[in-house]
Amino acid sequence: METTVLAIGGMKSEDDLRAVANAIQDLPHIGQVDISLERGVATIEFGRLISVEDLLRAIEDAGFSASET
């Protein structure tokens, strides 16, 4: 498993946090996900069949901005 930290823009509430978490966890081969609403970052553990670009796309498709930190 690999781990990445992504900056996520646009999260303002617990509902937004859940939407981001659901978008990430809908992908296959996702391990631990830790999202901080206050800091606007997500630490994500993922398998080798998933790329950082896949994670970014899933978050953006959920309506939030995302970038690698």
The single-letter DSSP state of residue 64 is: -
State how far the Cα of 22 lies from the Cα of 52, in Å rounded to an integer: 16
Torsion of CA 33, 34, 39, 41, to 10 degrees: -20
Measure Cα distances from 11 to 3, 20, 40, 48 in Å. Answer: 21, 8, 7, 27
- For the question of whether the overall pTM of this predicted structure is more than 0.85, the answer is yes
Domain 2-68 has CATH 3.30.750.24: no
Q: Are 16 and 58 in contact (CB under 8 A)?
A: no
Output the pLDDT for position 69. 86
pLDDT along the chain (69 residues), means of 10: 96 96 96 96 95 97 95
User: What are the residue ranges spanned by the domains of the chain?
Assistant: 2-68
